[in-house]
Amino acid sequence: MLEFNTFSITARCSKTGQLGVAVSTKLPAVGMLVPFVKPGVGAIATQSFVNPYIGIRGLEYLSSGMSALQAKEKILSEEQDLEYRQFAIVDGYGNTAAFSGNKCEGYYNHFEDTGVVVAGNMLLNEKTLTDMQRTFLIHSDLELSERLLHALQAGQKAGGDKRGKQSAALKVYDTEDYPLVDLRVDEHEDPIKELTRVYEVAKDELLPFMPNMPKR
């Protein structure tokens, strides 16, 4: 099994309905296997000893009409090695659900609030998660992508992954089947800082064009 000891935030914007995940870890390419998002349906972060099918099947369950809690219970009923898994779900209505197996490494936990879940394992401290949650909630005036980035920055500042830093990712969907924002830093000595820099470039050179992209 591949272990993504990591910290993530999974959320829905109540104003726009946008859904997204931001995540960082001390392994390369965290954006490849942890964040899963479907517009209008939900967002899922699957981590610890990661099973990508928790994200894939979880979105299928949400698409079928299940709530976040119902999807969680369905995943728990069929998943093997549950004690090693950690995942967070936010559905298209802002309902949340999360699970942290009792064999996740180091300090691990998850916290839920309206439309948002923060989760992590092998963390330096609980403050990583509580600061992420608090930062997300106080920045309700910002776009979802920026709220997620601010939360990720707060988590890193509070301690983050106890092993260090290597990769980070930000994925946000609006109404289309393609992402509004999908940025990754796959290997860097300060990945969240680099992800923030890339996002600022994208704000000037990419994101202004997204409203004019084809619609379904």
139-150 pLDDT per residue, tens? 999 999 999 999
**Average pLDDT, stretch 119-139?**
95
Distance between CA atoms of residues 187 and 200, nearest Å: 19
Q: How many degrees, rounded to 5, is the angle at CA 58 between CA 52 and CA 63? A: 135
Identify the three-state secondary structure at position 108: strand
- Percent of the chain having pLDDT more than 70? 97
* pLDDT digit string, tens, across residues 184-212: 999 999 999 999 999 999 999 999 999 99
Is pLDDT above 70 for 63? yes
Give the model's pLDDT for residue 21. Answer: 98
Do the Cβ atoms of 181 and 207 come closer than 8 Å? Answer: yes
Give the model's pLDDT for residue 116. Answer: 98
Give the model's pLDDT for residue 162. Answer: 63
- The dihedral region occupied by 40, where left means phi > 0, alpha psi between -120 and 50, and beta the remainder, is left
**Average pLDDT, stretch 148-176?**
90
Round the average pLDDT of the chain to a whole number and report it: 95
Give the model's pLDDT for residue 164. Answer: 66
Identify the three-state secondary structure at position 214: coil
Is pLDDT above 90 for 1? no
Give the model's pLDDT for residue 24. Answer: 96
Q: Of 1-5, 97-101, 199-203, 204-208, where does mean pLDDT reach its minimum? A: 1-5
Q: What CATH number belongs to 3-212?
A: 3.60.20.10
Q: Where are the domains of the chain?
A: 3-212
If one counts every other C-beta atom within 10 angstroms of the C-beta of residue 127, the result is 15
Six token digits for residue 125: 């401290």
Specify the higher pLDDT residue, 31 or 124. Answer: 31
Is pLDDT above 80 for 130? yes
Is pLDDT above 90 for 3? no
